[in-house]
Structure 1
Amino acid sequence: MSKPTASRSVSSFADLPELYAELIATPDFEASFGDPLPLTIMERGEEPAEYDMPEPIAAQAECGGIIASIFDLFTDTRLEALAPEVAWGMVNSLHFVAGKLERREDQLADNIRDMARRLEPGEVFMKELEDNQLECQSVAEQREAIEAMRDYAAAMYRTCSGRPWSPARGSRASQVTTASQISALDFLRVRAEKRRDRYDPQGPIVVVSGPQKWHDVRIIWNRLDQIRARIPRMMLVTTGQRLGVDVIAAAWAAQRGVHLVTYGIYGRGASAGFKRNREIAALMPVEAILCEGSGIQQALYELFNPQNGHRVPTHVFLASEQASDIPIKRRRRVIPA
């Protein structure tokens, strides 16, 4: 006789968000809140004290609920078109706080390394070292919790808007998310410094580039799925645009849990885009997808297929090969199942 499964009754609709979050709560999310230090330092200069972390299930439910509520409130009203912009700002506020905590954590870690090199006898020095260590650990706990909340809110944003959440600048990396979106500036700096592993994802690089006006999602997703079947540890590099082909590829990376490096244009002048192309080619990609666009894509194709030197297998899609454009009015999801 099979053992009966435990069930939880729902007394009202108000209980549904909490129940849903409880059912889908991930171990990684809970780990970011679980097993905190016995003592923590809330702010610099304060004495260590005992504080509990928020309940992970409640944190997950509230973060998802905030984003979903914005879309529910604005749907079928004059504000519907603004829902993605407002919800993006909600996620970005968590991202901003996580960034501040990360910078503070790095500063404290540097202080600890300096003190460890000049280790001095005496109670005052040892007390200062211990306080720095506890504060650094406390800030790391706060950062991991805020990053977990940000990533869950970003996942809800993608579900409601049909496109992945991306920071306006910088990177989104954490121990919780299955797919990190790394800015090329962070990626190159950390690859040179070997400072933080989570900013230096490893794996064969596949490049995607195309115009900002491109409507055929499936032609790109299908080809990326084929490449990933052959290269399961692939890392995706895009040219960092916020519309069109790059956004379609970013949505695929978020859905499939593939690391993404957004390689935007850094610098001014007409040559900045072509300089970016040369830097992408220097990453030695193993495969590429190029969609018909401007001279930027043409220049990339020539770099990937030189007469002599390193050749990159390149899949080229012409604009005329796209499936018919389907009107998207009132359509909430734009990514394929």
Structure 2
Amino acid sequence: MTTFASFEELANARIAQADERSSTTQSYDGAFVEPSDMAKLSVIDGPTAIEMPDPDMARRAVEMAIGTIFDVLKDTRMEEFARQLAWGMVNSFHMTARIAEGREDEAAKKLGEMARNYDPSEIYANELEETQMLCQTLQGCREALEAMRDHAADVYRVETGKPFTATRGSQVSKNGVTASQVQARDFLASRAKERRAQFQPEGPMIVVSGGQDGWHDHTMIWAMLDEVKARIPNMVLATTGMRKGVDAMACAWAQANTVNAVLFVPDRKLGKRAAFVRNEKLVNMRPVEAIVCEGSGVQANLAQRLRTAGVPLHIRRIADQRSARVAA
């Protein structure tokens, strides 16, 4: 039986590989920075001096949790279930981050209401400052959880070759305004700006769409995307949101290359029109380039719309792939 020490050694090896990507490591560590010496964890609890987790230890915990599932079940009759179990673990990070985000939004809403309704009392000032501290604390926790989720998703991608996809789917006072009130407004403004950047990534959009069946040569898809990124470093990837095939390969590439990806999933409420309405929205985003791979009439319709709009288009057919054995 494999010992705990060997698991730790394996985790260290994986961490060493991840740490080669210094910019990613710096970004990860930055999510665990404490904006204040004090933290407030709930509306009821008072401020307390409590630290964030050590980012390296958090990274190790993620590596151990996800990696060990694959190590323990490999070459056993339960190996086929390793991917589902690991996916569930990554998704738990995602859902917990969303719970923290909900609490953060509630605190931010209260903070906004207080900042708009000035009260010169000391009680008001104290409550305003504590509400801001609560919002900041929850924001820090949410960012750390998202960093852990993203790292877990990266481990999942390395182990399975597939991207993780979640189930659900973001002042100088001139009028007697107190200093703490000004800080609240500043905080809300910066928070809103940050969140807009997360949910509305800016940059030239590259569309990728392809069928779900018959596609295996991820090397060909990745090579095309590498070539596009070399010409357009600040690109944003837009896909048609399929969970396997070409779209999944493109999303895996985006995760591996730290490229923002936007998934245009059809609105099922529109019935048979859903995919075609989605195609229209994609073209209306004014992409600068597109890769469309053989699939169904949906891909043919998208290619036609892109040509009509004058978008430079790369077409690939299933027959253009290398054999499955060579591609592997």
Q: TM-score range by the shorter chain?
A: 0.7 to 0.9
When residues 19 and 250 of structure 1 are mapped into structure 2, their CA distance, relative to the original with a 3 A threshold, is closer
Q: Which runs of 5+ in 1 are unaligned?
A: 1-11, 172-192, 329-333
The 5-angstrom pairing of residues 239-278 of structure 1 reads 239-268=240-269, 269-278=271-280
User: 1:13 deviation in Å?
Assistant: 4.3
State the AA in 2 paired with 1:16: E
Alignment of 1:295-314 (within 5 A): 295-306=297-308, 310-314=309-313
Q: 294-303 or 214-223, which moves further after superposition? A: 214-223
**1:281-300 map, 5 Å:** 281-300=283-302
| Aligned twin of 1:187 | none
Query: Helix, strand or coil: the match of 1:311?
Result: coil
313-322 vs 278-287, greater mean Cα deviation: 313-322
Q: Work out the CA distance in 2 between the residues paired with 1:265 and 1:159.
A: 28
Residue 107 (structure 1) shift:
2.3
Alpha-carbon distance, 1:15 to partner: 5.2
Q: Which residue number in structure 2 is paired with residue 228 of structure 1? A: 229
The residue correspondences of 1:58-137 to structure 2 (distance < 5 A) are 58-137=57-136
SS of 1:106's equivalent?
Answer: helix
Against the structure 1 CA distance between its residues 169 and 35, is the aligned structure 2 distance closer, same or farther, given a 3 Å change threshold? closer
- The residue number in structure 2 matching 1:238 is 239
Q: Distance in 2 between matches of 1:293 and 1:160?
A: 27
Structure 1 residues 261 and 299: CA distance shift in structure 2, 3 A: same
User: Higher mean Cα deviation, 137-146 or 16-25?
Assistant: 16-25
Aligned to 2:212: 212
- Secondary structure of the residue that 2:319 maps to in structure 1? helix
Q: Using the TM superposition, give the Cα deviation of residue 21 of structure 1 relative to its aligned residue in structure 2, in angstroms.
A: 7.2
Identify the residue that residue 179 of structure 1 maps to in structure 2. Answer: none
Instruction: Tell me if structure 1 keeps the 8 A contact 2:70–2:79.
Output: yes
Counterpart code for 2:289: E
Contact 2:279 2:302 in 1 (8 A): yes
Q: Matches of 1:21 and 1:297 in 2, distance apart?
A: 38
Give the deviation of 1:113 after TM superposition. Answer: 1.8
Aligned to 1:319: 318
Q: Indicate the SS of the match to 1:196.
A: helix
Q: Residues 285 and 210 of structure 1: is their aligned pair in 2 closer, same or farther, counting only changes over 3 Å?
A: same
Paired with 1:244 and 1:163, the residues of 2 have a C-alpha distance of: 10
**In 2, Cα distance between equivalents of 1:270 and 1:155:** 35
Question: Distance between the aligned counterparts of 1:80 and 1:17, measured in 2?
Answer: 18
Cα distance, 1:33 vs. partner? 1.9
The 8 Å contact of residues 21 and 60 in structure 1, kept in 2 or not, is answered as no
| Greater CA drift, 19-28 or 201-210 | 19-28
AA in 2 matched with 1:31: G
Taking a change above 3 Å as real, the CA distance of residues 140 and 104 of structure 1, as seen in their structure-2 partners, is: same
For 1:75, the aligned partner's letter is K
Distance in 2, matches of 1:36 and 1:94, equals 22
Query: Aligned partners of 2:29 and 2:61: how far apart in 1?
Result: 14
Moved more, 123-132 or 282-291: 123-132
Question: Do the aligned residues in 1 keep the contact of 2:90 with 2:153 (CA within 8 Å)?
Answer: yes
Out of 202-211 and 105-114, give the one that drifted further. Answer: 105-114
After TM superposition, give the deviation of residue 103 of structure 1 in Å. 2.1
Cα deviation digits, residues 159-186 of structure 1 (max 9, x gap):
1111111212226xxxxxxxxxxxxxxx
Please provide the CA RMSD for this pair.
2.1
Q: Secondary structure at the match of 2:31?
A: helix
Structure 1 letter corresponding to 2:136: Q
Q: CA deviation at 1:16?
A: 2.8
Structure 2 letter corresponding to 1:82: F
Aligned to 1:6: none
TM-score (norm 2): 0.84
The secondary structure found in structure 2 opposite 1:290 is strand
Most deviating of 228-237 and 19-28: 19-28
Tell me how far apart the structure 2 counterparts of residues 209 and 21 of structure 1 sit (CA, whole Å): 32
Q: Distance in 1 between matches of 2:8 and 2:195?
A: 44
Q: CA deviation at 1:18?
A: 6.8
Question: Following TM superposition, by how much is the alpha carbon of 1:29 offset from its aligned partner in structure 2, in angstroms?
Answer: 2.0
Q: Determine helix, strand or coil for the equivalent of 1:305.
A: helix
Q: Displacement, 1:36?
A: 5.1
**What is the CA distance between 1:327 and its match in structure 2?**
9.0
- What is the deviation of 1:42? 2.1
Question: Compared with structure 1, are the counterparts of its residues 18 and 247 closer, same or farther at alpha carbon in structure 2 (3 Å cutoff)?
Answer: closer
